[in-house]
Amino acid sequence: MELYENEQKQETAVLVSVDTGEFDVESSLLELAELTKTAGAEVIGEITQKREAPDSATYIGKGKLEELSEFCEMNQPDLIIVDGELVSEDGRDLTILRAIARAKRWQKLLDDGVFKTTSEIAEVLQTDQSYVARTIRLAYLAPRIVRLFLEDKAPPRLSLAKMMKAFPEDWNEQYIHFGIEPADS
């Protein structure tokens, strides 16, 4: 019986960002690149555009869209990863889902031993350690609470600012803390 080695090609990605001046694009792209690398993909390009706001239909403007298209034709990336705010079809801000995903990635980096402390993560991402520590708490939200956000059914009072404050570790206590009906027993 002959055995063959299964070679897996590493996925490649291009990162796309709109610089509205509201946040540090370089730092955000650095973080996105690290997260992409952690997910197993190699970043082969970045496209950034300065705009007052993302284009509602295409995120980036027509010229940058053509540039992205040409880049993709030449380099054939597997993924296009957009560094932007997530908004549902009805316009509801889904930034909290992005924060939860970030928290889970950071926790995985700690669990896998890539980083030993939240301070190391903050240093690499060039951000505040307390922000990393507050954000990483979201990795411990009860799955049902996360599902409420995924299904766009979370109470509007559950803002990102409220979720970033200390909350109980016990899931049942979280329901009480956030004013969510406990799960049926």
Q: How far is CA 83 from CA 18, 19, 26, 56, 174, in A?
A: 8, 10, 11, 15, 30
> What is the C-alpha to C-alpha distance for residues 58 and 84, in angstroms, rounded to an integer?
12
> What is the C-alpha to C-alpha distance for residues 84 and 140, in angstroms, rounded to an integer?
24
Which of these, 97, 150, 125, 114, lies nearest to 40 by C-alpha position? Answer: 114
pTM score, two decimals? 0.54
Q: Over the stretch 1-50, which tens digit does the pLDDT of each residue have? A: 666 555 557 788 899 998 888 888 888 898 888 888 877 789 999 999 99
Where does the pLDDT of residue 185 fall: very low under 50, low under 70, confident under 90, or very high at 90 and above? very low
Which of these, 185, 124, 142, 133, lies nearest to 164 by C-alpha position? Answer: 133
Contact 141, 177 (CB under 8 A): no
Q: Domains of the chain, with CATH numbers? A: 11-83 (3.40.50), 95-178 (no CATH)
Where does the pLDDT of residue 164 fall: very low under 50, low under 70, confident under 90, or very high at 90 and above? confident
Angle between helices 129-136 and 95-111 (to 10 degrees): 100
